[in-house]
């Protein structure tokens, strides 16, 4: 008689689940907030992890070893002097970690006319006319279709030689080099030494007629309207250092005349993606969870008031307040847990689906997936505390009078 009977936990769980199953539509709607919150949480962590993994993969050695230097001139707009010194390539080549560095610029006879034979009608306006140091071409990592590139000696002597991009060669109708063909620019012939099939950097070159800088400086104006640029290929890992030193190495007297662009640090790139997206969307996920908790609390409270009779009856049948509280707490926790499971599953599907669509590799930390039901259950538990206490406090006599 002094020992009080104990209902089995399994039976209490059964009662709670039966309570949920009574009103399936309401249970599902109540779960929605938790589904959204946990789903958003898992999806965000999964998508950012996947995207970050993607950046790592895409961020190849190619991008990580490229530095560009632009001549941006002085503060005075009337100052049109070129900023690159004549020995710019040599100065940069002297820096540690540089493999190739060269200056290039668009050559500017206004409206150049290109043709494969002298006096042919000009219909090649979309082709570009570019002056480039041999080392700039090398830094673009070209593959040749035919012939070869010009070299330092051609450049130094100012020979009338040219290299064609594949597309430019096609438009001009130059396919073979065995007859030593020439390209005529405004009727000046340039012997075509080679045809570039493809480049890994500066794809514009494929549509260009490229001549040595020495040749360009002899025949045309130095660059001033469209200023010169420099392309630097560095060894892996040296890009940041080279970028920091380039301007000063070029012009110790006026480093501010250059704008140096270094590849973004992959580590910081990933951190950017992660932190920007994460903090915003995790905040949204948190808000969804709070809304979910409020939803569960509200529904549970309504359920307690609705089921006052049932509570009174259970007390008549020997239930103690703790049993009543346990039942309602279990209901809300199960609701949260279920919401978390659904939300987590939907999120995993979304992450995997996105990855498949984009041809990415889905990256999902196991703990983020496992966290969804746990978070859901936690939300349900917390949300259920007050309704459960209210239920436990109901006086059986008062409950049955209704």
Partner 1 sequence: MTPVISFTGVGLTYPGPPPVRALRDASVTVQPGEYVTVVGPSGSGKSTFLNVAGLLDRPTEGVYELDGVDVSRLRERQRAALRGQRIGFVFQSFHLLQYRTTTENVALARLYAGVPRRQRAMTAVEALDRVGLAHRRDALPLVLSGGERQRVAIARALAQRPSLLLCDEPTGNLDSATAENLLELLDNLCADGLTLVVITHDPQVAARGQRTLTIRDGVLHE
List interacting residues with partner 1 (CB under 8 A).
1-2, 4-8, 10-11, 14-15, 18, 21-22, 309-310, 312-321, 323, 395-397, 400-401
Judged by beta carbon, residue 256 or residue 306, the one nearer partner 1 is 306
Q: How many Å separate Cα 99 from the centre of its chain?
A: 28
Tokens of 264: 């973004």
Judged by beta carbon, residue 283 or residue 397, the one nearer partner 1 is 397
Whose tokens are 């908790």? That residue is 293
Measured between alpha carbons, how far is 172 from 211 in angstroms, rounded to an integer? 16
Tokens of 59: 């961020």
Judged by beta carbon, residue 149 or residue 324, the one nearer partner 1 is 324
Q: Spell out the residues 6+ positions from residue 131 whose beta carbon is closer than 8 angstroms to its own.
A: 104, 105, 106, 107, 210, 211, 212, 213, 215, 216, 217, 220, 223
Measured between alpha carbons, how far is 218 from 197 in angstroms, rounded to an integer? 28
Closest of 145, 153, 149 to residue 162, by C-alpha: 149
Cβ atoms of 152 and 93 closer than 8 Å = no
Closest of 61, 172, 197 to residue 122, by C-alpha: 172
Judged by beta carbon, residue 297 or residue 319, the one nearer partner 1 is 319
- Residue 289 Cβ, how far from partner 1 at the closest point, in Å? 30
Judged by beta carbon, residue 7 or residue 109, the one nearer partner 1 is 7
- Residue 308 Cβ, how far from partner 1 at the closest point, in Å? 11
- Residue 348 Cβ, how far from partner 1 at the closest point, in Å? 33
Tokens of 266: 């992959």
- Residue 1 Cβ, how far from partner 1 at the closest point, in Å? 7
- Residue 35 Cβ, how far from partner 1 at the closest point, in Å? 24
- Residue 305 Cβ, how far from partner 1 at the closest point, in Å? 16
- Secondary element (H or E) of residue 99: strand 98-106
Judged by beta carbon, residue 327 or residue 333, the one nearer partner 1 is 327
Exposed, middle or buried: residue 321 (CB in 10 Å: 0-12, 13-18, 19+)? middle
Judged by beta carbon, residue 7 or residue 53, the one nearer partner 1 is 7
Please tell me what DSSP assigns to residue 188: E
**SS3 call for 293:** helix
Measured between alpha carbons, how far is 207 from 228 in angstroms, rounded to an integer? 18
Please tell me what DSSP assigns to residue 150: -
Closest of 296, 301, 295, 323 to residue 381, by C-alpha: 296
- Residue 331 Cβ, how far from partner 1 at the closest point, in Å? 14
- Residue 6 Cβ, how far from partner 1 at the closest point, in Å? 5
| C-alpha dist (Å) from residue 7 to 176, 308, 318 | 94, 21, 10
- Residue 291 Cβ, how far from partner 1 at the closest point, in Å? 28
Exposed, middle or buried: residue 224 (CB in 10 Å: 0-12, 13-18, 19+)? middle
Measured between alpha carbons, how far is 67 from 65 in angstroms, rounded to an integer? 7
Judged by beta carbon, residue 240 or residue 400, the one nearer partner 1 is 400
Closest of 394, 368, 392, 296 to residue 338, by C-alpha: 296
Judged by beta carbon, residue 279 or residue 309, the one nearer partner 1 is 309
- Residue 385 Cβ, how far from partner 1 at the closest point, in Å? 21
Judged by beta carbon, residue 18 or residue 349, the one nearer partner 1 is 18
């Amino acid at each position: 008689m002094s020992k009080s009977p104990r209902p089995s936990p399994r039976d209490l769980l059964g009662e709670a689940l039966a309570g949920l199953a009574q009103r399936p539509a309401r249970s599902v709607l109540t779960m929605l907030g938790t589904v959204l919150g946990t789903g958003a949480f898992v999806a965000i962590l999964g998508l950012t992890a996947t995207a970050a993994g993607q950046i790592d993969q895409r961020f190849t050695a190619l991008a990580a070893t490229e530095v560009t230097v632009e001549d941006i001139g002085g503060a005075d707009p009337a100052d049109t002097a070129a900023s690159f010194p004549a020995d710019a390539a040599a100065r940069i080549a002297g820096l540690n970690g540089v493999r190739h560095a060269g200056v290039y610029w668009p050559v500017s006879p206004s409206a150049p006319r290109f043709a494969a034979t002298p006096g042919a009608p000009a219909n090649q306006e979309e082709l570009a006319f570019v002056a480039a140091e041999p080392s700039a071409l090398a830094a673009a990592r070209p593959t040749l279709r035919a012939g070869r590139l010009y070299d330092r000696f051609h450049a130094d002597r100012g020979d009338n030689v040219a290299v064609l991009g594949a597309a430019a060669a096609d438009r001009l109708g130059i396919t073979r080099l065995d007859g030593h063909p020439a390209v005529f620019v405004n009727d000046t012939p340039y012997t075509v030494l080679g045809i570039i099939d493809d480049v890994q950097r500066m794809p514009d070159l494929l549509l260009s007629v490229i001549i040595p800088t020495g040749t360009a400086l002899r025949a045309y104006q130095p660059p001033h309207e469209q200023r010169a640029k420099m392309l630097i290929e560095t060894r892996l890992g040296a890009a940041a250092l080279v970028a920091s030193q380039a301007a000063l190495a070029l012009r110790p007297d006026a480093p501010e005349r250059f704008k140096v662009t270094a590849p973004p640090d992959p580590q910081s790139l990933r951190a950017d993606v992660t932190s920007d997206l994460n903090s915003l969307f995790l905040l949204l996920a948190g808000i969804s969870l709070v809304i979910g908790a409020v939803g569960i609390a509200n529904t549970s409270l309504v359920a307690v008031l609705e089921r006052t009779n049932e509570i009174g009856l259970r007390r008549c049948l020997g239930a103690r307040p703790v049993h009543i509280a346990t039942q309602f707490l279990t209901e809300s926790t199960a609701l949260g847990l279920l919401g978390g499971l659904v939300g987590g599953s939907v999120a995993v599907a979304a992450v995997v689906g996105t990855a498949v669509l984009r041809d990415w590799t889905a990256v999902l930390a196991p703990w983020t997936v496992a966290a969804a039901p746990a978070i859901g259950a936690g939300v349900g538990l917390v949300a259920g505390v007050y309704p459960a206490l209210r239920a436990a406090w109901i006086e059986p006599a008062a409950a049955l009078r209704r």
